[in-house]
Amino acid sequence: MLFKRRKQEVLVPPAGLGRDDIQRQSSICTGETIIGFLDPKSGRLLQAVVVCSPRDIEDFYRSYGFEPPKQL
């Protein structure tokens, strides 16, 4: 069978936030790392996802239409 490739949808970042607002945070207890948009008013990460590898970071940037940084 032939399958059509799905176009990857570009997600919309939270209002007023962009590429410069993307931050990573790591837990001091478990070492778990998450990436998301840092809200300057509350200091919380919005639309955060768990990072298991450098590939996850690249995928996060690309899902919002941004080019990932050269050095992770």
What range defines the domain where residue 52 resides? 19-63
The pLDDT value recorded for residue 72 is 61
Answer whether residue 41 shows pLDDT above 80: yes
The reply to whether 26 falls in a domain is: yes
- Average pLDDT score over residue span 41-50: 94
Strands 33-38 and 45-51: antiparallel
How many domains, in total, are found in the chain? Answer: 1
The reply to whether 52 falls in a domain is: yes
Residue 36's pLDDT band (cuts 50, 70, 90): very high
Q: Which residues contact 52 (CB under 8 A, 6 or more apart)?
A: none
The reply to whether 68 falls in a domain is: no
Closest Cα partner for 19 from 61, 71, 63, 72? Answer: 61
The reply to whether 4 falls in a domain is: no
Answer whether residue 57 shows pLDDT above 70: yes
